[in-house]
Amino acid sequence: QVQLVESGGGSVQPGGSLRLSCTASENVFKTFAMAWYRQRPENERELVATITIGRTPFYRSAVKGRFTISVDATEATMFLQMDNLKREDTAVYYCNNAAHPFFPWGQGTQVTVSS
């Protein structure tokens, strides 16, 4: 089974930046459209951003213009650059398949935005 590992979370003040990374035990980034999801406190998991095999990005409206999804040139790591973070971005962030998150969920990485 594919194992996904998210990293790069932390605590920042509003307006700050973080860059999340996602690695996988198999070469999923060459084969599947992938995505970042998040689960905010007392909310269901939601889609944040997706990137196709052709590297076309999509963002939910709440993060558009602030977050950037990308895959590195080796296609081994997916990133989520998060700028101008807001308190409502506080969540555990996960990566998974974009069309349907059928890979086992990783542990996620906690992002906390507070002053």
pLDDT digits over 11-68, tens only? Answer: 999 999 999 999 999 989 999 999 999 999 999 999 999 999 999 999 999 999 999 9
If residue 30 lies in a helix (H) or strand (E), which one and from where to where?
helix 28-31
Give the integer Cα–Cα distance in Å for 94 and 7.
Answer: 9
- Say which residue the tokens 């990137």 belong to: 51
